[in-house]
A and B are shown apart, each in its own frame.
Chain A
Amino acid sequence: MNLASLLKLLPVVGPVLARGQEFIDWYHEASASLHLTDQRAAQDALAAIQAENDEGHQRLQAKAAAAAKK
């Protein structure tokens, strides 16, 4: 593989690598949240992920609308 073809891959590889930590964090979050036995802590974790999903949903919709035009 030459440098030119490697550079062409960067736009594809970059987002994947950037998301790597996000998936690792997701795994830890899932492991921790699903083993909570204290109701208060479970409710707090629920409120946090709900806020995150609300924001993430809006973001995905905006990106999908832009990608639909391509």
Chain B
Amino acid sequence: MTIRRDISELIGALLACALIVILAACSGLGEPVRSTAPAAANIAASVADAAGAPAPVSLADRSVRDEQALLALELAYKLARTAGEMGLDAGVIRGQRARDLAALDNRAYLSVTLARSLYTAGNEATWHDALAEANRAVSDILPLLSGDRR
């Protein structure tokens, strides 16, 4: 049916937007650091990172770039889940495909919440790994929505 193909094309276009956001998150977006934290805290965190030790300061105090990376991840997840919800509302995702979507959405959501927790906890190395993993988990939803995986 033409309208269903149109929906698939619309979802495909939306997913392209999601990928742009994901790529932006991976490449480290944003303006230079304009942190509210003292410079000494950033230096201490960098030293801790270099030594492989947990950072003594929350990442929330470190840079706007960190918020933007997490924001980009949350926006990508929002787009993927909204596209999924649209497919469910339109009835184009059902049965096994709906079960697959639920599983992939759960995995992506858990990865996003893990990234949030590690961001708050403040170890930069672990946070970056979690961010990359969450981006992958969100990306894994996309083939199912675009119909490449049934």
Contact = CB atoms under 8 A, between A and B. Distances in A.
Do these two chains interact? yes
Interface of A: 9, 11-13, 15-16, 18-19, 22-23, 26-27, 29-30, 33-34, 36-40, 42-43, 45-46, 49-50, 52-53, 56-57, 59-61, 63-65, 67-68, 70
A18 B112 CA distance: 27
B95 A22 contact: no
Task: Tell me the dominant secondary structure on chain A's binding face.
Answer: helix
Interface of B: 1, 3-4, 6-7, 10, 14, 17, 21, 24, 29-31, 34-36, 60, 63-64, 67-68, 70-72, 74-75, 77-79, 81-82, 84-86, 88-96, 98-99, 101-102, 105-106, 109, 112, 116
A68 to B, nearest CB: 4
Chain B contact residues, majority secondary structure: helix
